[in-house]
Structure formats: C-alpha cells, structure tokens
Chains A and B, each alone.
Chain A
C-alpha cells in the first residue's frame, strides 16, 4: 500500500513540477519578440504573397513584402514603394517612380521587379487573388524606363488605377521568383522560419527604406478558435490577438489585462437578393424587403450595438461614399402593400447563411422574424463556411454576405458592373450604371469623378439587390504592455502592421 501511495505522490509531484520546469526554460518569449495569434483555416500553407486569401496570409505578406501604395483608413492611396506616379491625359499610360529600396538579399527594388510581379499576378496559372486588378494591363506595351521608373499601359482609361497597387496580394517580389519556401522581400521583416500550418518567425530587416522596425522579431502563431486566441492573450502567451468578437471585448478589458482596438465600421453586412431571378426580379419585392427590415434592431442585437446603420450602399466612411443619404426607416405597412401589389402575399424564400461570419446566424434569424411580421416566410439555411462565398454566387435567391473595406470604385467595378461575372452576387445589370462607372474611371478631374461615382451609387442603391443593413466593427486585442497598435479597417495600411509596434 505504501509503495502505491509513494508512486502516486511521485506522479503528482512530477505534474506539479512541470510548470516550474517550463518557467525556468522560458515560455518561448524572448526580449523584443512580438507574438501574434491569428486564426488559421484551411487555405494554402505558403508564403507566396499572391495566392493566400486569409488574414494571416496577408499579415505575413505585409511583414515580408511591400506594395507600391497602401490604403489610408478611407481607402485612398498613400505612397509606399512608389514615390510618385503620373497618368497621361487619356488615363491609359501610368508612369511610376520608385523610391530607393532594397530586398533582404541586398538587391535594389527595380522597375523590372514590379513588372515581373504584376505579370505574375495577371497570369491565370498563378491563380492569384488580385488577378482582376491587372486584367486590363497591356504587358506587351508596358516597360521599364530606367531602374527606378516604369510605365504601365492599360487597355481602357482608368484614373483609379493606383488603388490596384495597394490591393491585398499585390506585394512586389524580386523578378524571377518562383519559390517561396524562404522568400526574399523588401518588407520591414525578413524570413527566419516557417512551418506550413504552424508557426512563422520573421526578424527585423535593418535596411528597410522607412527605417528599422521596432520589434526585433515577429512570431505568428495559428489559433483557429477565437477562445484560444483570447485565452492565450489573457494568460500572457501572446501579445496580440487578431479578430476578436464583440462578445469577448468585455472579458478582455476586465481587470485591465488587455486592450481592445476597434475600427468602428470596418465591414459591410448585407442581405444580397438576386435581382436576375424570381422572385426578386420583381423590383417591388426587393423594395418590400428593404421596407420590412428593422435595421436598428439588427444593429443592436446582431452586432451588439457595435457598428453603424447601413444605407444599402457599400463603404460607410470611405472615399466616394455619399454620406448624406438617409437610412431607410422601417415601414411594415408599405412592405405588406408592396407584397400585395406584386401578388406575392405570404411569399416564402430561403435565406442562405453560414458560420463564416460571427454575426450571420443571429442576423439571419432576426431578418426572418422581421420579414415575417411584414408577411413573408423566410427560412434561414446554414451552409458550409469553407465554400460559402462561391455557393452563394451560384445558388439560391438570397444570402447574407460581408465585405471588408476596399476602395469604393474597386467594389463597384468588381461587384456591381455587368462584366463582373459571378462576382456580381446580386446579378445586377444596368447599362446606365456601367456607363456612369466607365465615365467616372475615364475622368481625370477628381471632383467630377467623385460626382459620377456618387450618381452611379445612388442608381445601384435603388435597383440592385444589395441590401446593406449595417457595418460591423472590427476588433483586435493586445496585452497592455503593447503600444503602437490602433483599430484600423482590414486591408488598410495600418491593419496588421507591426513595424511600429513596441512591447513595453
């Protein structure tokens, strides 16, 4: 009996000793290393900056590489590798001058590198995320003028072309790069190690054109579960947690152990109705849905009050967004009258939703209830998160969708024009809209271009199936010892940017 007891005591002692051992060995944190928890998820496990589609892919790319321009919070462009640029009067020839910058192996960043990169992105074989941004470039006519100057030639005028150079997954890679197992970039951090599906470590690049970064090292740790990221931050395992939900904000700020940084309305939350197929090919039924929604209730409940009311247009707070349009008020009687008029009393339809966004499921049930009061039978249908966005392009008549911040003209061009193909989720086709949009891109004068873009958006608001009910906030959290992080909309320059962050 004594023997058994002693054995057990030994086991218990060994277990109790484990934390001490690990404290002595250090928990992996070294001075100056910033530890970042990002959601994982099943996309490509590579450091190729042009093919990753997840936030962690983009965050890693931003550390290792640079883009020609970046996006300010309102998605207007700010210079990065490009020092200046100048279009010709037709808006089809763009001359770009590069600032002096260096890749991690000491080679200078040249015009040839930029041309190689954009050609690679536009090549179908790369399957790049941002291919459509460069589909219109005539690479035969584009050329390097000198080592630091190049000219890009477009098939059609586009005075908004510079925003393509700041889009996610347009990072400049050295000419001739085919292998990304130990990539060389010109970003503020250089490659140290990367285990596909696991941890990545990057070290400060001392000769970065903007000066050396503050942290000596970055360590990207993948944690798919939001609870794991929050707990890791609270227990001091990481310094930064990406993408935390509104529900975790209170827990994180309790007792001053962590700080939450919010971008107030980073993401559009929309109900997309396909106007090219029944029943929503009848515009009265689209109007009935718009009138039947209680947007304030959706904001208060589905978004926990953190966000902003939607006005059926993308891009609240961004450049070219018309800020003066009133948000539609709820009018259940009008919705009922429209239904009757269309001969569609008791109309029933399926609303596609998924767990791809934490707000979708509560929004879906609220929408079903609100439209039920207006005389429609809406049944939410939950689809798989991994292929959700391609599913809703092809199937069904109504779905919930969300879009992070991107320049308003990019959104209009890629989602609302007739030649947007399947990326035009609502099947909106309008010759008048296309004409206004094309004319805006071909207009050199900024104010007149803005005016045309606002007219195009008002038109789309009346007749597309894009029912934008709100804008959700966007949260990241840091340990209280971390300085230099602020809430910035996803895709903007300051989002997931770590070269100016310090650990206290």
Chain B
C-alpha cells in the first residue's frame, strides 16, 4: 500500500523543485528584460507634454528613483509573503488587475478546449483508422491550411465574412470582459473559432499519427488475429497507446493558446490577460508585468508537469 505512494512522491518532488527553480528564473529574467526597455512608467503616464520637474516628482512618488536591485528585492520580499505589489499606473493591487482579466482568458481557453478536444479526437481517430482514404486526405488538407494561416489573418477573414458582410456575428467583443461575456455568448464565437482552428490541426494530426502507429503495431495485429472485434481492438488497445504522445501535444496546445490569446484579444477588443500583459509592458508597469510573467510561468510549467506525470502513468500502465 505504501510503496506506490512513495514511488509517486519520489517522482513528483524533484519535478516540483525543478518547477520552482524555473518559475524563479522566469521572475528574474522578466524583471531584467523589462528593466532593459527604454523609458519608464512616469514617462508613459505623463506623455508628450511631460517636463523634467514633473517627471522627477512622479518618479519619486512611484519609487522609480530607487536602484533596480532595491526594487527587485522589495518585489521579491513581497512575493514571499504572497503580496504581488501594486500597479504603478493605477495604484490598485496587482492581483486585482490580473484576476479581472484572467476570467476572460480562462473562459476563452476553456471554450476553445471544449471545441478542440472532441473535434480533434474524432477527426484524428477517424482519419487514422482510414489512413489514405478520401476522408483522411480531406481532413489533412483542411488542417494544413488552417495551420498555415496566421491567427490575425484568419481573424480578419472571419470578421470580414461573418460579421461585416453577412452580419451574423458581432465583429468585436465591444470591450466586454470577464463573466459579462457569458451574457453575450455570440461575441465569443469568432474568437473561439480562431483559437480552435489554430490548435485543432496540431492535435488532430498527433492523434492520427498515434492511431496509425498503434493500429499497425504487432499487438493490434495479434489481438485481431486472436479474433477480437474491431471496436474492442480500437477502444482497448489502439487508443490507450496513443494517449501519451497526445497528452504531450495537449500541453503544447495550452502553451499555444496562451500565445494566441494575445493576438485574438487585441483583434476582438477583449479584455483578457493577453491585452492586460501587453498594456502593462507598454506602460512599463513593472509589478504588473512581473505578476503576469509569474502567472504564465505557473500555468505553463504546471500544465507540463501535470501532463508529464499523467503520461508517465499511461506508459507505466502499458508496460
């Protein structure tokens, strides 16, 4: 009884340690990179008409006259107590700034996965089982096409056709964000469509490859010869063996979604973490930039960690 749990924690603990080191490295790296950007919050806030006296006053007030080392130490000190600091630009807690936008992105990502996972699974399995058929070739062409169109081009195309020409769907989210989006689901159709189209292709192809490989493998041939029904061959032997690589691809899908939302949120005027992050960088709002960087790091590293561990389970099960 004790042995499997101990084995699991033996596998998890070092990985957790590595993840923490990775997250800390991201924090330091992003801080250094932001420090290298020209200009500071005072200049951005005061804009075109700022004179030197005003800049000095604002810099002192925001603590921008402190050396970088001191500012990082203060930030890191706060972090250890769970305090992400306050925005230089708005004076509100960084956590508030981020959670306000995170709801939008969480909704977008969840809806996209809801569309992508079943669709990619169905397309991948079906074309994998009938490799070389007309269906397989059609899916392959569409998927390659979608994958080769950049997100912004696809978004503009879809908006042009479905919103401007046909008038079926809203062209933008009109500044909505967070849970208020739920009251107007129509605004989500095009953004989710763009994100899904992009992620669908890689995942569907991964599923197809897995199915083709597993289907042609010796054990599949063996159980078929043993007289097992085709349905059972697929469900009990082919699919379980494709899950490991597909899960790896799924981790990349989530990473890709985080990148895609930046573009999609900008084009559809959605207030999510993508646009929040871009805005914070533009304003040189260092505490908020750091907050977002941590969030991205935690999500990416966390998901990869979980999926690695789950995939390991499946490999172990196969053996």
Q: Are A234 and B171 in contact (CB under 8 A)?
A: yes
> B199: shortest Cβ distance to chain A, in Å?
17
Within 8 Å of chain A (Cβ to Cβ): is B159? Answer: yes
The stretch of B46-54, B137-145, B291-299 that contacts the partner chain: B46-54
Do A19 and B49 form a contact, CB below 8 Å, given A223-B269, A228-B268?
Answer: no
Q: Pick from B2-10, B11-19, B172-180, B236-244 the stretch touching chain A.
A: B172-180
For window 369-423 of A, CB contacts with B under 8 Å fall at: 383-387, 389-391, 414, 421-423
CB-contact partner of A42 in B118, B186, B283, under 8 A = B283
Q: CB-CB < 8 A to B24: which residues of A?
A: none
| Contacting residues of chain A (140-196) with chain B, CB-CB under 8 angstroms | 196
> Is the CB of A247 closer than 8 A to any CB of chain B?
no
B50–A384 contact, CB under 8 A? no
A53-B47, A53-B49, A390-B43 given; A43·B174 CB < 8 A: no
From known contacts A387-B44, A423-B51, infer whether A198 and B271 are also in contact, taking CB-CB under 8 Å: yes
A46 contact set on B, CB distance < 8 A: 90
B170 and A237 within 8 A (CB) = yes
Please report which residues of chain B, range 259-302, place their CB below 8 angstroms from some CB of chain A when the two chains form the complex.
266-269, 271, 275-276, 279-280, 282-285
Q: Report B-chain residues with C-beta under 8 Å of the C-beta of A197.
A: 271, 276, 279
Given known A-B contacts A42-B44, A232-B269, A27 and B57 have beta carbons under 8 A apart: no
| A447 on the B face (CB < 8 A) | no
Comparing A123-131, A303-311, A467-475, the segment that makes contact with chain B is A123-131
The smallest beta-carbon distance between A198 and chain B, in angstroms, is 6
Most buried by A among B40, B185, B284: B185
How far, in whole Å, are A363 and B156 apart by their CA atoms in the complex?
A: 27
Name B156's closest neighbour in chain A (CB-CB).
A227
Tell me whether A236 and B167 are in contact (CB under 8 A).
yes
Q: Is A481 an interface residue (CB 8 A)?
A: no
Point out the residue from B47, B160, B168, B169 that lies within 8 Å of A129, measured CB to CB: B47
Instruction: For the complex, give the distance between the alpha carbons of A131 and B49 in Å.
Output: 9
Q: Judging by beta carbons under 8 Å apart, are A199 and B175 in contact?
A: yes
Q: How far is the CB of A255 from chain B (nearest CB, A)?
A: 10
Q: Determine the distance from Cα of A41 to Cα of B278 in the docked complex, in whole angstroms.
A: 10
Instruction: Please tell me if A44 contacts chain B, counting CB pairs below 8 Å.
Output: yes
Q: Which residues of B contact A131 (CB under 8 A)?
A: 51, 54
If A227-B156, A422-B52 touch, whether A43 touches B47 (CB-CB below 8 Å) is yes
CB-based nearest A residue for B155: A227
Q: Please measure, in the bound complex, the distance between the C-alpha atom of A224 and the C-alpha atom of B172, giving whole angstroms.
A: 11
Q: A232 contacts which of B53, B168, B172 (Cβ < 8 Å)? A: B172
B189 within 8 A of A: yes
* CB pair A27 B170 closer than 8 Å: yes
Q: Is A221 an interface residue (CB 8 A)?
A: yes
- CB contact between A231 and one of B159, B175, B266 (< 8 Å): that residue: B159
Q: Does A434 interact with chain B (Cβ within 8 Å)?
A: no
Asked if A44 contacts B174 (CB within 8 A), the reply is no
Note all chain A residues with C-beta closer than 8 A to B230.
Answer: none
Interface size bracket, B side: 35 or more
In the complex, A346 Cα to B184 Cα: how many Å? 61
Partner of A125, one of B57, B159, B172, B176: B57
Looking at the assembled complex, report how far the CB atom of A176 sits from the nearest CB atom of chain B, in whole angstroms: 20
**Taking A43-B44, A197-B279, A386-B282 as contacts, is the C-beta distance between A127 and B54 under 8 angstroms?**
yes
Q: How far is the CA of A125 from the CA of B51 in the complex (A)?
A: 13
Chain A residues near B164 (CB, 8 Å)? 231, 234-235
Whose C-beta in chain A lies nearest to the C-beta of B125?
A4
Q: Would A198 and B51 count as touching, CB distance under 8 A? A: no
Pair B172/A422 contact, Cβ less than 8 Å? no
Q: Which residues of A contact B167 (CB under 8 A)?
A: 235-236
> How many Å lie between the Cα of A167 and that of B186 in the bound state?
42
From B38, B40, B48, residue with most partner A Cβ within 10 Å: B48
Query: Which residues of B from 32 to 61 have beta carbons under 8 Å from A?
Result: 37-40, 43-55, 57-58, 61
Give Cα A230 to B114, complex, Å.
31
Question: How would residues 219 to 257 of chain A score, 1 for a CB under 8 Å from any chain B CB and 0 otherwise?
Answer: 001111101100110111110000000000000000000
A21 at the interface (CB under 8 A from B): yes
Q: Judge whether A22 is part of the interface by a CB distance below 8 angstroms.
A: yes
* 8 Å CB contact of A237 from B47, B171, B189, B279: B171
Instruction: Tell me whether B163 is interfacial, beta carbon within 8 Å.
Output: yes
Q: Which B residues are CB-close (under 8 A) to A28?
A: 174, 184
A422: chain B residues within 8 A (beta carbon): 51-52
Q: Given the complex, which residues of A lie within 8 Å of B55, measured CB to CB?
A: 390
Question: Is there contact, CB below 8 Å, between A43 and B283?
Answer: yes
Distance from B181 Cβ to chain A, minimum over Cβ atoms (Å): 11
Within the complex, which residue of A27, A45, A225, A391 is in contact with B267, where a contact is CB–CB below 8 Å? A225
Is B89's beta carbon under 8 Å from chain A? Answer: yes
Is B135 positioned at the interface, with any CB of A under 8 Å from its CB?
no
Please tell me which one of the listed residues B43, B175, B267 contacts residue A221 in the complex, with CB atoms under 8 A apart.
Answer: B175
In angstroms, Cα B73 to Cα A317, docked, is: 55
Q: Which residues of A contact B276 (CB under 8 A)?
A: 197
Q: Say how far B42's CB is from chain A's closest CB, in angstroms.
A: 8
Of the candidates B39, B58, B276, the one having the most CB atoms from chain A within 10 angstroms of its own CB is B39
Task: Choose among B39, B51, B54, B174 the residue that contacts A386 (Cβ–Cβ < 8 A).
Answer: B39
Of A19, A223, A385, A423, the contact of B186 (CB 8 Å cutoff): A19
B70: interface (CB < 8 Å): no
A38 CB, nearest partner CB in chain B, Å: 10
Which A residue's beta carbon lies closest to that of B40? Answer: A387
Confirm or deny: A18 has a beta carbon within 8 angstroms of a beta carbon on chain B.
yes
Give the CA-CA distance A21 to B177 in the complex, in Å: 19
Counting CB contacts under 8 A, is A132 at the interface? yes
Q: Inside 8 A of A231's CB, which chain B residues have their CB?
A: 159-160, 163-164, 171-172
Determine whether A2 belongs to the interface, using a CB cutoff of 8 Å to chain B.
Answer: no
Cross-chain contact of A387 among B39, B168, B177 (Cβ < 8 A): B39
Residue A343 is within 8 A (CB to CB) of chain B in the complex: no
A25 at the interface (CB under 8 A from B): yes
CB of A383 within 8 A of CB of B90, answer no
In the complex the two chains form, what is the Cα distance from A131 to B47 in whole Å?
A: 13
Report yes or no: A228 in contact with B53, Cβ–Cβ below 8 A. no
Is A15 in the interface zone, CB < 8 Å from B? yes
- Residue B148 CB within 8 A of the other chain: no
Subset of 13 A-B contacts with CB under 8 Å: A42-B280, A44-B90, A196-B90, A197-B271, A199-B174, A199-B176, A223-B172, A224-B266, A225-B269, A231-B163, A234-B164, A235-B163, A386-B282
- 20 other contacts beyond A22-B187, A224-B269, A228-B172, with CB at 8 A cut-off? A7-B118, A18-B189, A19-B169, A41-B279, A42-B279, A43-B47, A45-B89, A53-B45, A125-B57, A130-B49, A198-B177, A221-B174, A228-B266, A228-B268, A235-B163, A237-B174, A386-B39, A387-B284, A390-B43, A422-B51
Instruction: List the 7 closest pairs (A to B, CB-CB), nearest first.
Output: A387-B39, A22-B186, A53-B47, A42-B283, A231-B171, A221-B175, A235-B171
